[in-house]
């Protein structure tokens, strides 16, 4: 998929290469045929984590299909270069040996490995993690409360009582690098975060709202600042459990900070020099490179930020 130089590159979770091949989901037997093909690659999920090969921790431990997979909630993820990809969630009663029987693996989450996997595997784990979060939280019909059944290769849940169909949801959220007329960046610490952890502001798009209005509203609500000149910078799925992060840059027209105590513990404007110094002395930490927040911050900074000095306290 082509991306222009006008938007952020290298968003860790926006690199999917697998063709979702959605037309196959409705075909009877797609999953059975995929699981009968020894060339199919199977991704096992356990509580939202996936097996990753150690010591590298940059490749998924995908495996060939096994007989029990047909009972392990198989989801059809798509095809890439002729290979079908299926995700399964072995149940607690499934005593068959997992991938660790044949490989040296560690079970890790998308947050932990998303930036280190190659494009294809990052996309597979992003999609599988999103489906996992949806199935876990949406097992009952929102109309009548009946337990729904999984159909269409894991992409639809259907209510046996009233026939209604329910699809994986994605919740748009805006995230924005707010810069003042002196080129300082606004960074804040959320109420639930550890001391020193800072990031750009973010929030969900509300019902009936545009992305741009959500950016202006969130910045005003969280720190009392007005913004203008919004520029879209890129987006990536953030399936924890169901967000799509829409990245923006915005220019502040006011600089007095009035943090909303319900959400923000502290907020401040940083020059590039100040942020670099506080990264080096370890007094500030940023979100990891798997997040769009980190890329928005580093785009403002002009490159990768320095890491803490080894000898810092």
* Residue 157 binding Zn ion, by CB under 5 A: no
- Under the criterion CB under 5 A, does residue 151 sit at the interface with Zn ion? no
> What sign has the CA pseudo-torsion 73, 78, 80, 84?
positive
Q: Does 159 bind Zn ion (CB under 5 A)?
A: yes
CA 247/CA 174 separation, integer angstroms: 6
162 binds Zn ion (CB under 5 A): yes
Using rule CB under 5 A, residue 12 touches Zn ion: no
Give 206's DSSP letter. Answer: P
CB of 160 to Zn ion, least distance (A): 8
CB of 143 to Zn ion, least distance (A): 4
* Residue in this structure with the two tokens 């930020």, named with its chain if needed: 305
Least separation in angstroms between residue 148's CB and Zn ion is: 7
Q: Which of residues 246-285 bind Zn ion (CB under 5 A)?
A: none
Contact indicator for 235, 14 with CB cutoff of 8 Å: yes
- Which of 111, 109, 33 has the alpha carbon at shortest distance from 69? 33
36 contributes a contact to Zn ion by CB under 5 A: no
Question: Of the candidates 9, 26, 36, 144, which one interacts with Zn ion according to CB under 5 A?
Answer: 144
The 10 Å Cβ neighbour count of residue 20 is: 17
By CB under 5 A, tell whether 165 contacts Zn ion.
no
Distance between CA 304 and CA 287 in Å, rounded? 13
In the complex with Zn ion, which residue's Cβ is closer, 33 or 161?
161
Name the minimum Å distance from CB 127 to Zn ion. Answer: 26
Closer Cβ to Zn ion, 139 or 210, answer by number: 139
Q: Is 33 helix (H, G, I), strand (E, B) or coil?
A: helix
Of 35-43, 152-160, 178-186, 289-297, which segment contacts Zn ion by CB under 5 A?
152-160
Where helices occur in the chain by DSSP H, the ranges are: 30-36, 110-113, 119-137, 211-223, 272-280, 292-301
Choose one: 24-32, 106-114, 143-151, 282-290; the region binding Zn ion (CB under 5 A).
143-151
Residues that bind Zn ion (CB under 5 A): 141, 143-144, 146, 159, 161-162
């Amino acid at each position: 998929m082509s991306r222009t130089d006008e938007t952020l590159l290298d968003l860790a979770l926006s690199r999917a290469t697998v063709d979702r091949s959605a037309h196959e989901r409705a075909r009877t037997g797609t999953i059975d045929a995929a699981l009968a093909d020894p060339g199919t690659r199977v991704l096992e999920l356990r509580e939202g984590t996936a097996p990753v090969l150690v010591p590298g921790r940059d490749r998924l431990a995908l495996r060939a299909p096994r007989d029990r997979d047909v009972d392990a909630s198989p989801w059809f993820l798509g095809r890439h270069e002729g290979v079908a990809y299926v995700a399964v969630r072995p149940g607690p009663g499934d005593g068959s040996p997992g991938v660790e029987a044949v490989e040296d693996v560690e079970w890790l989450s998308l947050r932990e490995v998303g930036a280190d996997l190659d494009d294809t595997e990052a996309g597979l784990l992003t999609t599988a993690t999103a489906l996992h979060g949806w199935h876990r939280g949406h097992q009952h019909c929102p109309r009548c409360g009946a337990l729904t059944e999984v159909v269409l290769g894991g992409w639809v849940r259907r209510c046996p009582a009233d026939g209604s169909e329910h699809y994986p949801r994605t919740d748009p959220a805006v995230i924005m690098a707010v810069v003042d007329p002196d080129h300082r960046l606004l960074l804040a610490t959320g109420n639930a975060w550890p001391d020193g952890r800072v990031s750009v502001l973010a929030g969900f798009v509300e019902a009936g709202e545009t992305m741009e209005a959500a950016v202006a509203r969130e910045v005003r609500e969280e720190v009392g600042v007005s913004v203008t000149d919004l520029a879209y910078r890129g987006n990536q799925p953030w399936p924890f459990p169901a967000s799509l992060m829409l990245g923006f840059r915005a220019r502040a027209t006011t600089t007095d900070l009035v943090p909303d105590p319900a959400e923000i513990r502290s907020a401040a404007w940083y020059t590039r020099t100040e942020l670099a110094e506080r990264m080096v002395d370890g007094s500030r930490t940023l979100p990891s490179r798997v997040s769009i927040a980190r890329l928005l911050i580093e785009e403002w900074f002009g490159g990768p930020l320095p890491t803490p000095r080894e000898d810092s306290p």
